[in-house]
Structure 1
Amino acid sequence: MADAQLLTEVRALVGREYGRVYAWDEINAPMIRQWCEIMGVHNPLYTDAAVAANSAQDGLVAPPAMLQVWCMEGFHLNNYAPGSTTENPYEVLKVIEAYGYPSVVAVNSELSFERNLRPGEKLYYTTRLESVGDEKTTGLGTGFFVTLVMRYFVEHKSGDEAVGQLLFRVFKFRPATAPAAPAPTLTEQPTPVATRPKPGMSDDTRFFWEGCDAGKLLIQRCTQCHTLRHPPAPVCIECHSFDWDSVQASGRASLYSFVIMHYPQVAPFDHPNPIGLIELAEGVRLVAGLTGVTRDELHIGQALQLHFQTFDGELTLPMFRPAAE
């Protein structure tokens, strides 16, 4: 049962508004380009001024998902732009913690948008403690769901304009007590044998792993524009079609890049463990183990040949070794 004094202190904070946090910079094209590059976004409305000028947007816009990025503090903790508030919008978490709820985990984050942002605009946000739920018990422990809402504005001389908001919810909790470990028995237990971890399998990747079981390296192919893609994905990266089939790779490949894994040594892998970024003759790349070769024998561009290897009697993986001369 939650402490009555705790509930009184927490509820007194609900609804409190915290001051502005300003963006360091105006919305700008270099940051948009870097964000798109890192996130793998290829929309010309964000980076191609000529295309954007002839679109319904009538010029470049920033990716909506960047909304939170503009007002972040940067590399150093709490290094916010000049003029930003020094108030701590998370003070309610300190209050709850003082009553014996030391742990916190992010639960969900929801962005919503009023309109697109444009280069040259300057942002700030304010924070409101939206709610603190009743004490709940979950698998993690017992505590409180705390919800904050950050509202984002563009500064205008005629009056600031709301452009979006971020709802951020955390669970501040007292960890559940783990059950006591059973007392060891005098009977000596056999040491478990480490096996290769099995890959995650979904409806998008099932064809690939079933192909490996059959001794075939299958590459996903868009049936509309015939673009090959790997890793498998539900939609074509070129024409955005959802229709696809697969083609069998020839097995010819070259070594695009590689690493040698020395540490940590994890069973059941051999060490040093060479791992390659393999470029297939068909033009796509995949990561796979390298066999039958030492570090000194590896070089970029080296011709490789596919072979399948079965581990633990059930897991078949595509591996690569130097191609015969």
Structure 2
Amino acid sequence: MDIGARLKAFVGRAAATAGAGKDPVNLPMIRHWCEAVGDTSPAYAGDAAIAPPTMLQAWTMGGLSGHVDRSGAHDEMFALLDGAGYTAVVATDCEQEYLRPLRPGDEITFGAVIEAVSDRKTTKLGTGYFITTRMDIRVGDELAGTHRFRILKYAPASNRSASEEPGPRRPRPVINRDNAGFWAGVAERRLLIQRCGGCGRLRFPWLPGCNGCGAQEWDTVEASGDGTVFSYVVMHHPPFPAFDPPYAVAVIALAEGVRMVSDVVGVAHDEVRVGMPVRLEFQQVDEELVLPVFRAVGRASGAVG
């Protein structure tokens, strides 16, 4: 039996069974989440609070000690792929479906199943298989939501000499009907922030409706470009084509009061600090792609980054 057929045999097998959230849905975690993303919706506070729908997976996480309810299906599949040379992995996308609001006090349970394995695919990263895992989250017997997570497990493409071909291109951003205006602005070297047509609230990232008043009408304002580092991480691994770790990725607090994730340039990764002033600039990554990045204020243009 070839590896493709052996992988297909994993479809339908459980990846986690009888999982239980380590904590009930609770207001402190909701508050921390909302503070981190800058969401001040009244729906997430007070006696009638619900949890933000996007926290769905957060209630299933095992923390540093993990869960003891995992099955061996994922480990078996990864061992099979690793043994066949498909040693690299990259997350490709996730989808969530919200069926029931989660409220403080709810005790969640979950189970996960390997839902799909693709035929062998060849990508710019290499050749491999897309694997989709579906997690069902419940409160009692009631399905509250589903979380689908897809990865590519692949054999890295062989390195080519720089004299033979240009280096690998940066991944393209996912552009859809909700954020197309943002990327059109970036192409013109303008950083546009949505402004609600109902309450005037500024929001980022772009959304189809206001998370404050619910209005769907909006226009845009152009960011001044001033900001500070609100928080950051230093990426050390895994090595990924077109990226050269270590490098810093930060949540930037813009002067307008919204936050966005971007690279910090013009300063070594180990010199980035919370509160560091930064200034917007646009980086021409290749012949097609322009990205907004933030340069540490006061650093010379030839500095690291």
TM-score relative to the length of structure 2: 0.58
2:118 aligned residue: 133
Residue 35 of structure 1 and its aligned partner are, at CA, apart by 0.8
1:261-304 deviation line (CA, Å, top 9, x unaligned): xxxxxxxxxxxxxxxx997xxx8799xxxxxxxxxxxxx9xxxx
1:242 aligned residue: 218
Residue 43 of structure 1 and its aligned partner are, at CA, apart by 1.3
Cα distance change, pair 95–22 in 1 and its aligned pair in 2 (3 A): same
SS in structure 2 of the partner of residue 243 of structure 1: strand
TM-score relative to the length of structure 1: 0.55
Give the aligned residue type for 1:42: T
- Could you tell me which of 113, 116, 122 is aligned with 2:98? 113
Cα distance change, pair 180–85 in 1 and its aligned pair in 2 (3 A): same
SS in structure 1 of the partner of residue 9 of structure 2: helix
Paired residues of 2:40 and 2:212 also in contact (CA < 8 A): no
Aligned pair count?
A: 222
- Could you tell me which of 160, 163, 183 is aligned with 1:179? 160
Cα distance change, pair 226–88 in 1 and its aligned pair in 2 (3 A): same
2:51 aligned residue: 62
SS in structure 1 of the partner of residue 54 of structure 2: helix
Residue 34 of structure 1 and its aligned partner are, at CA, apart by 1.1
Residue 12 of structure 1 and its aligned partner are, at CA, apart by 2.4
1:98 aligned residue: 83
Corresponding position: 1:167 with 2:134: no
CA distance in 1, matches of 2:7, 2:149: 17
Cα distance change, pair 228–175 in 1 and its aligned pair in 2 (3 A): same
Cα distance change, pair 222–163 in 1 and its aligned pair in 2 (3 A): closer
Residue 140 of structure 1 and its aligned partner are, at CA, apart by 0.9
Cα distance change, pair 61–236 in 1 and its aligned pair in 2 (3 A): closer
Residue 228 of structure 1 and its aligned partner are, at CA, apart by 8.8
Residue 71 of structure 1 and its aligned partner are, at CA, apart by 1.3
Cα distance change, pair 165–225 in 1 and its aligned pair in 2 (3 A): closer
1:76-106 deviation line (CA, Å, top 9, x unaligned): 2x523xxx41424522122111111101111
Corresponding position: 1:144 with 2:129: yes
CA distance in 1, matches of 2:94, 2:136: 13
Which stretches in structure 2 are left out of the alignment for 5+ residues? 165-181, 231-252, 260-274, 276-293, 299-305
Moved more, 231-240 or 84-93: 231-240
CA distance in 1, matches of 2:56, 2:258: 33
- Could you tell me which of 71, 78, 85 is aligned with 1:87? 71
CA distance in 2, matches of 1:110, 1:232: 17
How big is the alpha-carbon RMSD for the aligned residues of Structure 1 and Structure 2?
4.4
1:100-119 deviation line (CA, Å, top 9, x unaligned): 11011111110112111111
Identity %: 29
Cα distance change, pair 43–256 in 1 and its aligned pair in 2 (3 A): closer
1:37 aligned residue: 35
CA distance in 1, matches of 2:8, 2:296: 59
1:6 aligned residue: 3
SS in structure 2 of the partner of residue 87 of structure 1: coil
CA distance in 1, matches of 2:6, 2:56: 32
Which stretches in structure 1 are left out of the alignment for 5+ residues? 50-58, 184-200, 211-218, 250-254, 260-276, 287-299, 301-316
Between structure 1 and structure 2, the one with the greater Rg is 1
CA distance in 2, matches of 1:205, 1:29: 37
